[in-house]
Structure 1
Amino acid sequence: MTESRYDRVAQDSADVVILGAGPAGLVLGNLLLRAGIDCVVLERAGREHVRTRARAGFLAPNTVRVLERNGLDEGLRRRGQQHGVCEFRTEDGRFRLDYTNLGRREPHTVYPQQDLVADLLADYLDAGGRIDFETEALAVRDADGPTPAVTVRDRDGRPARWRARYVAACDGRHGAGRGSLPPGAVRCHHRDHGVSWLGLLAEAPPSLDAVGYAVHPRGFAGHMARSREITRYYLQCEPGAGTDAWSEDAIWDELAVRMGAARYGPLLRGRIVQRSVVRLESDVLEPLRHGNLFLVGDAAALISPSAAKGANLAVLGAEVLALALTDALAHGRTEPLEHYSQRCLAHIWRAQEFSHWMIRLLHGTPDSEESAPFQEGLRRARIAALRTSRAQQDWFAENYVGV
């Protein structure tokens, strides 16, 4: 066998090597550390970037319960804001759903993901957790053996290797975890929804006291408050468009048109500080493990942002895996690990179904011109049912906040 340069470098080891310091990786690291399990987190980015990168901010009730029962909710309790109303705007008018009084009568908690990650990171480091920033995981080798190896490049560009009993890939869709799966190890179910959004973060107060979904002939627009000073907006754009396709004034003018500002009140404008293009895609891997390599969060399943499920699924999966790994390493019981994939996939597929329903509600179906009028009729019928049917509203509320 030809010797690899990784066979000539120093090695380190841990019972569990965690790839990625997002919500999934840091929840998993905290729970393993508290259970006395030897673990390390390897993160490609630097510490400050991890603490400040802006992502989603709507936490489901189950996510809050996971954080509460594991003592990871101090910042959430002090600064999180409950939210329970969404507003739909269409050419036929607008209507609001107070979903805290529908379905299971539970609210979301608005807490910016960068704040949650900063809390989790502080908890992990304060408890003595090991984390290597600016360390890029390149591959997971021997995952089907008793001691997988993670090859990495450290902050100085030098090769290194970690040995582990188990590897948890919390490093996303394009991370080393997914990239190391051999052909045929898992099945990947993929769906491109044919829709793109321009994601915007604006230094502007919220313009309405609800999550706003605007369905307009020129495309979808969305309004999501993040704080008293910051608002997240989404603007449907042409697939393939770049972040610079619209000027700042054009963005605000288009948001005003699609959200009916002339009819319902002006938008509070401010400087746009972040732009990104989000292509609405979904995928699910089955099973969520290969040997002793386990997939968590976006590495396990990519879900469109249309229903704010991604971070919530990541936290839920991290708790399930933490409990299973603790059983295996501390008590010699491996059965929970055998059921990890099945348990998480049940939640993932349900979240995917609701996310797909939301995409069709907000955008219709990108289809041939021949069927477009039929698809638009279906979308209008969905909106009408959501406006008028209590049963439909209860179903929406239960799935909107549930994972």
Structure 2
Amino acid sequence: MTESQTPRALRAPVDVLVLGAGPAGLVLGNLLLTAGIDCVILERASRTHLRARARAGFLAPNTVRILDRHGLADGLHRSGARHGTCEFRTPEGRFRLDYGALGSGGAHHVYPQQNLVTDLLELYLRRGGRIRFDTEALAVHDADGTRPSVTTRDPDGRRARWTARYVAGCDGRHGAARRSLPPDTARHHLDHGVTWLGLLAEAPPSLDAVGYALHDRGFAGHMARTPQVTRYYLQWQRGTAADAWSEQRIWDELDLRMGAADHGPLHRGPLLERGLFDLTCDVIEPLRHGSLLLAGDAASLLAPAAAKGANLAVLEAEILGGALLDALTRGDTTGLDAYSERCLEHIWRAQEFTGWMTRLLHSAPAPDSGAGSFFQAGLRRSRIASLRTSRVHQDWFAENYVGV
């Protein structure tokens, strides 16, 4: 570190520094604060941006149980909606699965992630929690010791150094926690070769179910968010800009892929947001590196096809919170020693189902042409036929669809 990069301010030591104020960081911060653990959350975004950042909103039954267990679910129960039905549309017709009555009988709660983040943030602040917005974590140092530190850049551009007993890296795949991992850390990566155009439309839902449309031109998805806002997805040509198509062309394509001519037109409205999502996934192993522990997207990234990311983040935050509490209050590090193995078991199971779901929904990527693409298309038709007709397959789908 050069002299010009030397931190000008040294912050008072804390028990736990939490990097990132997404679902993992805010659940963890609330758990630690309630237990009397001195913690600070460092978040690179502004408070306004954090509260408005739209993400998926399907919360699994176990996620709701965790939030209930720790008094974090009031907003969810007040404004969220239980949802247990999905509809598949294919060239051969459509069928519905009441997955809330299949498998283990679990259903999702639809609650936009930005609403959950707002709830968790406001509760954390009301309880006296400390958070620094517009503060970018640059690097984690000395994680193999008993007093790790984090260098940050403050809103005014000045650098500072924070010290702690533990650092919880909940700052995503591009955050300081991942950048600071030892070079021999295992990083497993898979690109499914599929890109989505994600759309947020100011339009009421057109289905009373999650809609998955499988079409020769590519996948299209319908996910209700609120009575006034609906999220749509289009399988998209990778490398094409998000604004390459007009709103009219996008709605016409959604109508085509979702079979509006046969099943009724979609409710249209202004497109509030567009974003591109490459369906890639990765896993870091292990998730603990001395005093640095990873959770949420910093630990693993999942393709969005099965809506597992936020649910895993909440589960990992609860496991990590309990382990840190034992270590800091009783000197018992058993939970921390087992943290990585426990979480990776859930992560790999979620990755397996996400991969299955991704293959179910998408035609072969453009480079895969010829006999191979026909073979993949045949496999996909067989999967759909089995899901349509086999109760055993439906129960398996339901249990994995809502599980983490």
Q: TM-score range by the shorter chain?
A: over 0.9
Partners of 1:280 and 1:153 in 2: how far apart?
31
1:236 counterpart SS class: strand
Partner of 1:397: 398
Partners of 1:223 and 1:36 in 2: how far apart?
43
The answer on whether the counterparts of 1:6 and 1:151 sit within 8 Å (CA) in structure 2 is: no
Partner of 1:354: 353
1:12 counterpart SS class: coil
The answer on whether the counterparts of 2:216 and 2:363 sit within 8 Å (CA) in structure 1 is: no
Judge which range, 4-13 or 289-298, deviates more.
Answer: 4-13
1:1-400 aligned within 5 A: 5-6=5-6, 8-184=8-184, 186-366=185-365, 367-400=368-401
AA of the residue aligned to 2:252 = D
Partners of 1:251 and 1:300 in 2: how far apart?
34
- Give how far 1:370 is off: 2.7
Judge which range, 331-340 or 238-247, deviates more.
Answer: 238-247
The answer on whether the counterparts of 2:8 and 2:159 sit within 8 Å (CA) in structure 1 is: no
Partners of 1:273 and 1:330 in 2: how far apart?
47
Partners of 2:369 and 2:215 in 1: how far apart?
19
Please, what TM-score do these two structures have when normalized by structure 2?
A: 0.98
Partners of 2:8 and 2:134 in 1: how far apart?
21
Judge which range, 327-336 or 359-368, deviates more.
Answer: 359-368
- Give how far 1:51 is off: 1.1
The answer on whether the counterparts of 2:7 and 2:151 sit within 8 Å (CA) in structure 1 is: no
The answer on whether the counterparts of 1:219 and 1:235 sit within 8 Å (CA) in structure 2 is: yes
CA RMSD of aligned residues (A): 1.1
The answer on whether the counterparts of 1:12 and 1:161 sit within 8 Å (CA) in structure 2 is: no
- Give how far 1:160 is off: 0.3
- Give how far 1:234 is off: 0.1
Judge which range, 241-250 or 381-390, deviates more.
Answer: 241-250
Relative to structure 1, is the Cα distance of residues 249 and 126 closer, same or farther in structure 2, using a 3 angstrom cutoff? same
- Give how far 1:289 is off: 1.5
Partners of 1:46 and 1:159 in 2: how far apart?
17
1:371 counterpart SS class: helix
Which ranges of structure 1 fall in alignment gaps of 5 or more residues? none
AA of the residue aligned to 1:392 = H
- Equivalenced residues, count: 402
Please, what TM-score do these two structures have when normalized by structure 1?
A: 0.98
Partners of 2:213 and 2:334 in 1: how far apart?
47
- Give how far 1:241 is off: 1.4
- Give how far 1:305 is off: 0.4
Partners of 1:206 and 1:2 in 2: how far apart?
55
Partners of 1:3 and 1:270 in 2: how far apart?
54
C-alpha offsets along residues 319-362 of structure 1, whole Å, 9 cap, x if unaligned? 00000000000111001000000010000000000000001001
- Give how far 1:182 is off: 2.2
C-alpha offsets along residues 41-100 of structure 1, whole Å, 9 cap, x if unaligned? 000011111111111100000000000000001111111100000000000000000001
Partners of 1:331 and 1:178 in 2: how far apart?
29
The answer on whether the counterparts of 1:19 and 1:41 sit within 8 Å (CA) in structure 2 is: yes
Partners of 2:148 and 2:241 in 1: how far apart?
40
Partners of 1:83 and 1:22 in 2: how far apart?
23
Partners of 1:393 and 1:170 in 2: how far apart?
34
Which ranges of structure 2 fall in alignment gaps of 5 or more residues? none
AA of the residue aligned to 2:138 = L
AA of the residue aligned to 1:141 = H
- Give how far 1:9 is off: 3.0
Partners of 1:200 and 1:267 in 2: how far apart?
14
1:88 counterpart SS class: strand
C-alpha offsets along residues 179-207 of structure 1, whole Å, 9 cap, x if unaligned? 111210x2011000000000000000000
Partners of 1:7 and 1:233 in 2: how far apart?
45
2:371 counterpart SS class: coil
